[in-house]
A and B are shown apart, each in its own frame.
Chain A
Amino acid sequence: AQKITQTQPGMFVQEKEAVTLDCTYDTSDPSYGLFWYKQPSSGEMIFLIYQGSYDQQNATEGRYSLNFQKARKSANLVISASQLGDSAMYFCAMREPQGGSEKLVFGKGTKLTVNP
């Protein structure tokens, strides 16, 4: 079963508007971490934001915020005031302890295009 689901293969947004990228996850472990990474066409993975399973408040980092709904197992990324440079692939990932090796499992990604 897929552990991280990103249902939007592609999203379009107008410059300066906000956009929400969806991510749902599946785990039975009470301790886990959720991450969002941005991958521009150059290929590098850029860390955006992190949410721990025990964090009481939604994570925020500048224009990025994470809408964490634990009961629904969702961790949507909200980008406010979109910029042309935000056009990229966005990956949601989960880290859970598995035999001492806390590896990341990635979703399939969402391609975001910001239109001028």
Chain B
Amino acid sequence: GAVVSQHPSRVICKSGTSVKIECRSLDFQATTMFWYRQFPKQSLMLMATSNEGSKATYEQGVEKDKFLINHASLTLSTLTVTSAHPEDSSFYICSADGRLAGEDEQFFGPGTRLTVL
């Protein structure tokens, strides 16, 4: 149990386009999901906390108008990278808080590798 999926797993897009990444908790509900970004050979950096039915909370330095987050249900959060540029190329990982499922940890999706040309 406690599986989180992400779609797509890999995306290549042209500069200036928008990309939507979906994060789903498949067999449990999560009021809170988190979006991270990981550059090569670096650690995960939290971008924002996504709360079901309310606005996301963004970390300092993360542009909320560029990284749009929607958490419309207890099993789905989406991250849209608007007007993507090459510097947005990164590995994006979501996680879901497992405490509604009786677990202590966050469950991570497999990640989405974004390449902006």
Instruction: Please report A residues at the B interface, Cβ cutoff 8 Å.
Output: 33, 35, 37, 42-45, 47, 50, 52, 91, 95, 101-109
Contact = CB atoms under 8 A, between A and B. Distances in A.
Interface stretch (B11-19, B66-74, B79-87, B100-108): B100-108
B112 to A, nearest CB: 9
A45 B108 contact: yes
For the complex of A and B, the 7 pairs showing the least CB-CB separation, nearest first, are A45-B108, A43-B111, A47-B105, A50-B104, A106-B43, A101-B49, A44-B110
Contacts of A37: 108
Interface of B: 32, 34, 38, 42-46, 49, 51, 57, 91, 93, 95, 97, 104-108, 110-111, 113
B57 A101 contact: yes
A96 B34 CA distance: 15
A66 to B, nearest CB: 13
B107 A47 contact: yes
Contact of A103 (B38, B46, B93, B110): B46
Contacts of A42: 110
13 contacts: A33-B104, A35-B105, A43-B91, A43-B113, A45-B95, A91-B44, A101-B51, A102-B97, A104-B95, A105-B46, A106-B44, A108-B42, A109-B43
Contacts of B97: 102
A93 to B, nearest CB: 8
